[in-house]
Amino acid sequence: MQEEEIELFLEYTLDICRKMVESGAEARRVESTAAYMTSAYGFELRCANAMNAMVEISIKAPNGHHYTQASRVMMTGTDLGKLERLNDLARKICAEHPDVKTIGQWIQAERKFAYPVWMELVGYITMTFGFTLFFGGTLMDSLASALISVVVFALNFLLNRYIQASQNKLFYTFFACFLSGCLALTMVRFGFGAHADKIMIGDVMIFIPGLNIVNGVREMFYRDIITGLYRLIEALMLAVAITAGFGIAILAFGGVLV
């Protein structure tokens, strides 16, 4: 490879790794992907560091020159479908050894992939409906929970599309939980549902940072202490925002669940 191609290849590798972090991948998986991709093209991986806030890769080329690039991770979430596609893309690159231009085309194709809006909405509705029933809610409670999830989905969709609320996930989580709590209590007071607590339990499942907690604990066991602490602290802050949002909604309606 020419020097410009090496720089571009490293940029594409970094882009794949960054998107894996954004999709909820643990640090060890991202760093392993960087190692496999660079070694497949004859580079020696000198450093691969993946965190929720940044990904950095440093390689040594066969000509003896060192190349280092880093990328800031602006937002993280959970998208296991995207993570699976990125894993498949990395394996395909390692197996077929395409030129740098082809790698860029494959990455562009991945960027254009998007789930239909209706499919995401169905996910929100079925999850909240099912969890409300599971935790003892009535059919009417489940319907109320599903309707609130439609409002939360619309809020998430509009904010992320127009003002990128994902840049301030803490505030968004607090506001969405407060709104969900107010809607649940209002519905029960008007007779649409009988148990506000069961409705809230169904809706709170949208916000629980379960994957962050699991990955944080795993990374602590893998001795990725800083990355694990980062994830656990972020999960704790989101848990506080969830509690505050629903708690203030309950206090605003008299401090007692209907």
Task: Encode pLDDT of 48-94 as tens digits.
Answer: 888 888 899 999 988 888 999 999 888 777 788 899 999 999 999 99
Name the token pair of 64. Answer: 């003896």
Entry pTM: 0.80
Q: Are 238 and 170 in contact (CB under 8 A)?
A: yes
Res. 38: pLDDT tops 80 = yes
Q: Helices in 49-138 by DSSP H: which ranges?
A: 80-96, 100-112, 117-134
Q: Which residues pair with 44 in a beta bridge?
A: 60
Calpha distance 178→180 (Å, rounded): 5
pLDDT at residue 200, as a whole number? 92
